[in-house]
Amino acid sequence: MAGDAIVAEELFYMYGDLVAVDHISFSVGAGEVVGFLGPNGAGKTTTVKMLTGQLKPRSGRALLLGMDVSRDAVKIHQEIGVCFETANLYEQMNAEDNLKLFARLFNMPQFDAPALLKRVGLAGREKDRVEGYSKGMKQRLMVARSMVNHPKILFLDEPTAGLDPTSAESIRSIILEERQRGATVFLTTHDMWEADKLSDRVAFMSQGKIVAFDTPHNLKQQYGRRALKASVVKEGQRLEDREIPLDSPQTPGALQQLFANEKVVTIHSEEATLEDIFIKITGRGLVG
């Protein structure tokens, strides 16, 4: 489709006898942030590897910016940035040298490493060897490295996995800034909250297949169940929970009866989470 940054057509890959990615097809529009959700082993990383030319699909094809990944890898790699799931930095080198190395590979002689390091919160640590960095700092440097060439498409594979809240939030801010810049972001994660917050659309992946692909709002509308949750006081100051489904003809009556017959302490609306929906669709959770 014209204007699509990423197009996957019937991508298929297997490791030995194990099917990792099972004929998936989807497209991602330019400037869109797409979250790929799924538990470990669902096929997210294999999909990223095929999209970025690290793995050759057994069948199907991938197009990035209208170019076939298997044919135009050099041109495509000039336009994309990839942040890997596990840190793969040159740890004996400092942060600045790590970035400068990649800037030279991208032929960017005017590259400003300190400015990018400042952007990811590593100002003042540019000259420190990476081997002395914390996990969060390494991950921020990984994200920075993926942005060295101002990529049109940014692939981020579990960029916040295992990070402290501050580091994770810092990376989420960078992703939003990249979207503002106009980059297409392909984000794989099993953090449903993160995907919900950052993504224009999310794909649910399970056992190598995409089982749902839509905006978080639409998925919640389609699969979720909105409800009111109330805590009421019973005899002996004991608290009990009450749940009243919304979107039902009986909702007004049930709500009236609640306040008439019970002593309500707290009441709030509750929306289905992406994890609830994932479980509903696949019958399994996102973690594990």
Partner 1 sequence: MNPRIIATLVRKDVALFSRNKFFVVLTTLGLVAYMVIYFVMPASVDETLELGLYAPGGAPPILEDVQDQGLKIEEIDSEETLRKAVVEGRHVAGIALPVDFMDQINTGTRPTVAVYFAADTAEEVRTAVRSLIEELAYLQTGQPLPVDISPEIVGVDMAGSQIPPRDRLRPVFAVLLLITETLFLATLISEEIERRTIQALLVTPAKVRDFLGAKGFVGVSLAFGEALLFMAIVGGLATQPLPIIIALLLGAVLVTGISFFLATVGREMMSVMAWGIPVVVVLVIPAFTVLFPGALTGWIKVIPTYYLVDTVNQAANFGGGWGDVWLNLLALLGFGVAFFWLGSLVLVRRFR
Tell me which residues touch partner 1 (CB under 8 A): 52-54, 73-74, 77-78, 80, 82, 84, 86, 88-93, 97, 101-102, 104-107, 145, 149
Closest CA to 191 of 85, 62, 268: 85
Of 1 and 74, the one with the shorter C-beta distance to partner 1 is 74
CA nearest to 181, candidates 137, 119, 122, 239: 119
> Considering beta carbons, is residue 74 or 115 the nearer one to partner 1?
74
CA-CA distance, 31 to 46, in Å (whole number)? 23
d(CA 81, CA 257): 57
Q: Which two tokens stand for residue 261?
A: 């017959």
Nearer to partner 1, 126 or 200 (CB): 126
Residue 231: HSE in the Cβ half-sphere, 13 Å Cα cutoff: 5
Establish how many alpha carbons lie within 13 A of residue 53's alpha carbon, considering only the half-sphere containing its beta carbon: 18
CA separation for the pair 112, 173 (Å, rounded): 20
Residue 85, C-beta contacts closer than 8 angstroms, at least 6 positions apart: 45, 157, 158, 161, 188
> What DSSP designation does 224 have?
-
| Closer residue to partner 1 (CB): 88 or 269 | 88
Residue 102 CB, shortest distance to partner 1, in Å, is 6
* 125: helix, strand or coil: coil
- The least distance separating partner 1 from the CB of residue 233, rounded to whole angstroms, comes to 57
What's the closest the beta carbon of residue 74 comes to partner 1, in angstroms? 6
Cα gap 26→60, rounded to integer Å: 12
User: Closest separation between CB of residue 109 and partner 1, Å?
Assistant: 11
Q: State the nearest-atom distance from the C-beta of 232 to partner 1, in Å.
A: 55
Alpha helices in 147-191 (DSSP H): 165-181
Identify any residues that bridge with 217 across adjacent strands, giving them in sequence order.
none
- List all residues 6 or more positions away from 200 whose beta carbon is below 8 Å from its beta carbon: 32, 33, 34, 215
Q: How far is the CB of 151 from partner 1 (least distance, A)?
A: 10
Residue 82 CB, shortest distance to partner 1, in Å, is 4
Compare residues 104 and 197 and give the one whose CB is closer to partner 1.
104
Considering beta carbons, is residue 105 or 239 the nearer one to partner 1? 105
Residue with smaller CB distance to partner 1, 151 or 216: 151
